[in-house]
Structure 1
Amino acid sequence: MAEKKPGPVKSPIIDAKARESRAAPSGEAPRAAEPAQPDTPAPAASESPATAKPDSATAGPRAATAKKPEPGPSARPAPAAGAPSDTAPASTKTAPLPLAPLAVAAGAGALVGLALAYGLASFGLWPDGGRDADAALAALDARTGRIETALGVQDGVVAEAAGRIDAVEAALTARITELADAAPGTEGLAAQADLDALGEETAALAARIEAVAAGASGEEADLIAQMAQRLETLAARLDALEPQVEDALPALAEARSRIDDLDARIVDQPALDTVSAERDRMAQLPGALDRLARAIAAGAPFAVPLAELETLSPGLAVDDEARAIAAMGVATPAALLSGFREAIPVLLAARPQDPDANWAKSLLDQAGAALALRPTEGDSPQARVGQIEAALEAGDLVAAEQGLAQLPAPMRAAASGFAEALSRTLAAERLLAAARQTGAEAAQ
């Protein structure tokens, strides 16, 4: 800043060269360059001439183009309207506080506080909530134990008092009885003495019970009250159950009567083991019948199934012929049909000849026998053979046996082997039918 010298003031030379305007920020229209104002001394209204200072911010850029003014009071342009003035008195500005000393002081204070807290904790002066809680719990446990002990003692005292009262009542009853039986002259004196003794003992017991009740704490009294309430509840429940028990007594008596009746009926019946064995036998009988039927149908020996069936069905009659057949087995219907067809030529050849037939008929009969021709209609031997074959094909063994019996004797003799096989098979079928009938009757 130029020194103030006395003398005339020379107007400064102003560089009128226009400066390039800076780019306006986005969203604002660019402003035109304002013309430079002459540097005329225009001090602010708020500052005195003696304290006015030149604007160092505006004097800097202009110092490059302005000539050095003559000695005299310096002048500067008037500040723009609304611009903050930097010519305020120096006394109104506040100097910033230093932060480093404050940080050092805060850290030192924290360290001192931490050391004090550690010292208090080391000497046991720091408050500990957990230890207090543990001590309170221990005290509560001890108090609970004392209460339980006191309750046990009180229970014993009450029981002892009840026993003594019972003894006194018994003694009093006995004494009253004795007094009633005693002479009239001594009745009043003895009764009065007994009554006085009983009154004293009763008063002592009452005082003792009251002392026990008075010595109980609040919690003990609450426990005693709860126990009394529970006893009253149990008594009420027993009172409620008594009518139900009385109502159930008739039904119980009826049930007992029915049980007695059943016991009597069981005694009258056969033994239970006999009934169980009979039930098992009837359960095994269908299986034995099925095994016998399969053995007969397969043509295999059926002695074992027959013996099992005899055990399960004692009423079945089996003769010696049936046992012999069972040991050997019988021919199946298919085997009988095949054997009969093989024997047909022999049967036809054994038929009786007609003595009155001419040579042509005899020749035809011989050819039919050779070809085993057998019609199924009529009553001729050839027709009988056809009918027997048809019955065997249908499985009707009884019809086949009847047709075989109607053949002439020479033909029956020729088919003796087939007739025996057919008879054995029919005997086995009859045995199976008899066993089934016996099983059905036993089941009923």
Structure 2
Amino acid sequence: MATPKLKQFLKKALAKYKHKDVTQKEVMATLKHFEDLKPVVDTYVFNDGSQTELLCLCGTIPVKIKANTYNIPVCIWLTEFHPEIPPLVYVRPTGNMVINESKHVDMNGRVYMPYLHEWTHALHRSSSASCIPPARTNPSRSGNAVQRSSSASGVPAARSSPSRTGNDSDLIVLIQHMRRVFSEEPPVFMRSACPPGSYLPAEIERILTDKVYRNRQITQLDVRNAVTNFKDLKVHVDVFSTPGASKRELLCLKGTVPVIYKEGTYNIPLKVWLFEDHPNAAPVCYVVPTTNMRINDRCKHVNANGKLQLPYLDDWKDANSDLFSLIQVMRIVFGEEPPVYALADASGADNPVVSAGTTSGTAPTSASSAPQQAADPAATDKPPKSADRVLCLICMDKKVDSVVYDCGHMCMCFECGQAVLDAQANCPMCRSKIKDIIRTYHAGVAE
């Protein structure tokens, strides 16, 4: 775009911006350094459903990953108060790409970095931040195509930022930080490199694209992330009905999730229903006992019909809640109090935890070798050993050995807890603010 045309476009696009001249100057400098970014005016959708027209820089930025240079598709939204308020940055995967969720990129492609969190400018006023509600991009938009190229492919290398007044934050330095972070952990990968099971069946893709689900892309990413991490969950289209309500077809995650109870691992059968406005509305979850199982009526998190009642579902927030975290919370809760029991055997004793591998009732390999537990949790007041019972819900590898201050939840290993604290994220159990992570130690008292 020629300079006179660019100036004319920006003047019109920034008409309602508070700092028109400063924003225009910064955008022009950024476009000069990164020629594959283009300015466009598009609709930004906030979490509360409100919309506004904002200027955004869309296109690709060159990122060197190992020996090759890749063009990563991004979209940088500038708020009406720019540069008082930091930009809203997203990775925009193309149709043949999948977001690589990490500590810097969430499942919706939103980019989080210390540079954005610490954004400062001479025009910055802390009171301005309250004018802009937390936001998420319009999921119906698609990013620009990404192409793999060599370092000699003509992609311009970003030059060092020109001198700035004081320590003001600016777009050029922001993009340089993004390039460095993305080079260490790529924000996207090609579908051909997706882990097995990450694809959705064709009929699922169809129901998503038939305008049944309003937030199609977000729902697709949420479902894909869940079934990729929990291989025994499968996506189905099934009929959902409740008393006094009409029947309708909804997406349903059906299968089993592994739960550690005492020293054994058991597969608990579940159904998770997703409503048409997911993730704005919380899913409805059921434990689905097989023919040789029954609902544990002592479990406070499951009613007589198998419906789950969890604080995570009650406090569901579309911007911060997702299926993967929901299932992790289920695993922790079920590890403390099993939701189902095996029916009485020939001796008349109930087995405390169902050892069902799938909803068809086949036995899991992990549970088949697990030692037999006590007859009924109600028969003893001795709780299971927490150190053997729960794995960190972040890494799913190390045992829980820390407590979140000050909500008190024990759900992470100390290393993951420190990483969550450093990222200034919230407690994965209750979403409350984390003030500190305290390591805990289990006394070696013989039981």
TM-score range, shorter chain: under 0.3
Normalized per residue, the structure richer in helix is 1
The structure having more radius of gyration, on CA atoms, is 1
Whose strand proportion is higher, 1 or 2? 2
